[in-house]
Amino acid sequence: MPPTTQSAGPLERLLVAVGAVPMAIEPYLPTAVRRNFGVRLFVIAFISVVGAPALSVVLFADVLSAAAFISLVVAVTGFLGYCEMYRALREINGSVRKIDAGEFDLDLADDRIDEIGETYGGLLSAAASLDETLREAEAAREE
C-alpha cells in the first residue's frame, strides 16, 4: 500500500491486512464473479442472509447457538467485504497523492478485472497522460 502523510495506526494496518485476504482469494473465483464487484457483494449478502441461517438450522438445535452462528457469519463476511474495499480505496488514495506530488510512475500491481481494476487502469492511464503532457510542455518551453 502506498504511504500516507502520516504513519498508519494499528487499526488501519489491521484493515489493510484483512483486506488482503479477499484480494488473495479473488484470482480463484469464477470469471463472472471476478468481473463484477457487485456480484461479489451479492454473494457475500447471500451467504449472510440465506446461507448462514440455513446452515444454522442444520447444525444447531439451540436457538441461541444458531443466532450466535448467524451473527458471526454476518460479522465476518461484512468485515471481509469492508476491508477489501478499504484496502482498494487506500491504494487509490495513495496513488492520487503520488500523482499530486509529481510522481507519475505508479505501480498498482493488482490484476483485478472488476470495477476496481477499471479504476486502477484509469488512474494509471491518467498519470501516464499527465506525465507525457508535462514533458511535452517542458520541451516546448525549452525551445
In a domain, residue 4? The reply is no
State the pLDDT at residue 4.
Answer: 46
Q: Is the pLDDT of residue 48 over 90?
A: yes
Q: Is the pLDDT of residue 111 over 90?
A: no
In a domain, residue 110? The reply is yes
State the pLDDT at residue 110.
Answer: 64
In a domain, residue 63? The reply is yes
State the pLDDT at residue 54.
Answer: 96
In a domain, residue 1? The reply is no
State the pLDDT at residue 7.
Answer: 65
Q: What is the mean predicted confidence (pLDDT) over 34-38?
A: 88
Q: Are 40 and 112 in contact (CB under 8 A)?
A: no
In a domain, residue 115? The reply is yes
In a domain, residue 2? The reply is no
In a domain, residue 22? The reply is yes
Domain span holding position 120: 10-142
pTM of the model: 0.77
Q: Is the pLDDT of residue 105 over 60?
A: yes
Cell 503532457 belongs to which residue?
133
In a domain, residue 79? The reply is yes
The residue length of the chain stands at 143
Q: Is the pLDDT of residue 33 over 90?
A: no
State the pLDDT at residue 106.
Answer: 83
Number of domains within the chain: 1
